[in-house]
Amino acid sequence: VSGEASERAATLRSYRELGYAVVRGLFSVEAIDAVLREVDGLFTGQLRRLGQAVPDGAGDGEAALRARMEALLALDVPTYLATARHAAKLMSLQALAVSAPVVALLGELGLRTPSLPTTPVVHIMGDTLRIPGGYYGLAAHQDWPSIQGALGSVVVWTPLTDVDARRFPVELIPRSHLRGLWPGVITRDALEIQDGLRDADFVRAPARPGDALIFSVFTVHRTALQGCSGMRIAASARYESSEEPTFIARGFPCAYKRTVERQLPSDGFPAPADVTALFRAPAR
Ligand SMILES: O=C(O)CCC(=O)C(=O)O
């Protein structure tokens, strides 16, 4: 058995027994960097649109991106949030989510006719990127309640920047998936598990760009905060097996709902000229 094959076997065993595993080098670092550059472009574009200088963070790409995110957050919280949400819609990110290495891994995990209950989610954590009165990491939860699809659904969580043990990694409770659904309290972000938890039960899962943390939708996990500082960006996607018997028997339920804003902008946008101009020049 080659080293690679035995490492893969250990990964799959860890997933089954502990409820999670870190798959090293699932993606190429170049592919992750390309996504991060596009994310940077979104924040830079909004700063320019708002007439602001674009800070370079006097450092590498990550420091520059962080400086730009801080600048936009300081300037305009709703635009910062919209930009962060838009990052999850990038095709480069969605292409990774359905790329051949992911499909192969899901097959090895036993998912058949896999489906995505929703688009990927981008998770930004930073001590200088705290949303006033809003999100600052997720408390202990399982992911199954927020999809309610196939029981064997898998979360693939991928760092876009380095996520060491002190840079807000995900921390998980090994073997917590084997208890099935844990009782919790419905909050804005999750079915939060509040009882029976001890900090010592959680294990941190540091990961580098290119790696993927995979965990069961029944594995209890949260954002590590204690002793953490700096900034990190990660993306996660959820996958379900369309052939899981209870999923079929329950008629493919999905807790995610898509809503559409039917109200149009009140300023008459777009005027005919806005539309016709597009067809005279190359598409932007
Ligand atoms: O990235 C994080 O800090 C939390 C991720 C998480 O809890 C999830 O994807 O369910």
pTM here?
A: 0.95
Q: Mutation test of ligand 1: which of 20, 119, 155, 228 has the most ligand atoms closer than 8 Å to its C-beta?
A: 155
The set of residues, in sequence order, having a beta carbon less than 8 Å from that of 215 and lying 6+ positions away, is 15, 19, 20, 21, 143, 154, 155, 157, 170, 172, 177, 221
The residue among 110, 191, 185 whose CA lies nearest residue 148 is 191
The set of residues, in sequence order, having a beta carbon less than 8 Å from that of 34 and lying 6+ positions away, is 92
The set of residues, in sequence order, having a beta carbon less than 8 Å from that of 248 and lying 6+ positions away, is 242
Whose C-alpha lies nearest to ligand 1, atom 2? 223
Ligand 1 atom nearest the C-alpha of 155 is 9
For the chain, helix, strand, coil in percent to 5 are: 35, 20, 45
- The pLDDT of residue 282 is 63
The per-residue pLDDT for range 44-69, each reduced to its tens digit, is 999 999 999 999 877 678 999 999 99
Give the distance (Å) from ligand 1 centre to CA of residue 200. Answer: 19
Give the distance (Å) from ligand 1 centre to CA of residue 222. Answer: 6
The set of residues, in sequence order, having a beta carbon less than 8 Å from that of 146 and lying 6+ positions away, is 190, 191, 255, 256
Q: What's the CA gap between 276 and 284, in Å, rounded?
A: 13
The tokens describing 278, both together, are: 């597009």
The residue among 81, 77, 97 whose CA lies nearest residue 42 is 81
Which amino acid does the sequence have at 195? D
The set of residues, in sequence order, having a beta carbon less than 8 Å from that of 235 and lying 6+ positions away, is 35, 88, 93, 96, 97, 120, 121, 122, 123, 157, 158, 160
- The pLDDT of residue 196 is 87
Identify the segments of the chain with pLDDT beneath 50.
none
Q: What's the CA gap between 200 and 96, in Å, rounded?
A: 34
Give the distance (Å) from ligand 1 centre to CA of residue 8. Answer: 24
Ligand 1 pocket residues where CB is under 6 Å: 123, 125, 137-138, 143, 155, 157, 170, 221, 223, 234, 236
The per-residue pLDDT for range 167-224, each reduced to its tens digit, is 999 999 999 999 999 999 999 889 999 998 999 999 999 999 999 999 999 999 999 9
Which amino acid does the sequence have at 1? V
Give the distance (Å) from ligand 1 centre to CA of residue 97. Answer: 16
Coil, strand, or helix at residue 90?
A: coil
